[in-house]
Amino acid sequence: MKKHITLFIWGLVVLIAFCLNLFGLMHLIPLFITMPLLFVSIFGFLATWNSRNQFKGFYQKRMWQ
């Protein structure tokens, strides 16, 4: 449930950053500010979406300690 809320928040951040980027393309806001914001928001959304429990192998006991 916590992951769904986090994804929803990141989705809202992506939409806000996209709207700001449109304002940047209309030369209302500097584009060098809006492009990194959009990149960071998309990166955060994808990193959160991709964070899942990954299999890291079986634990092997050593025979000699």
CA angle at 49 for the pair 43 and 53, rounded to the nearest 5°: 125
Cα–chain center distance at 3: 12
pLDDT band, residue 59 (cuts 50/70/90) = confident
Every domain of the chain and the residues it spans: 2-50
> Does the pLDDT value for residue 65 go beyond 60?
no
Phi and psi dihedrals of 35, rounded to 5? -65, -45
pTM beyond 0.85, yes or no: no
How many Å apart are CA 20 and CA 32, to the nearest integer?
Answer: 11
For 14-56, how does the pLDDT look when each residue is reduced to its tens digit (9 = 90+)?
999 999 999 999 999 999 999 999 999 999 999 988 877 777 7
How many Å apart are CA 16 and CA 42, to the nearest integer?
Answer: 11
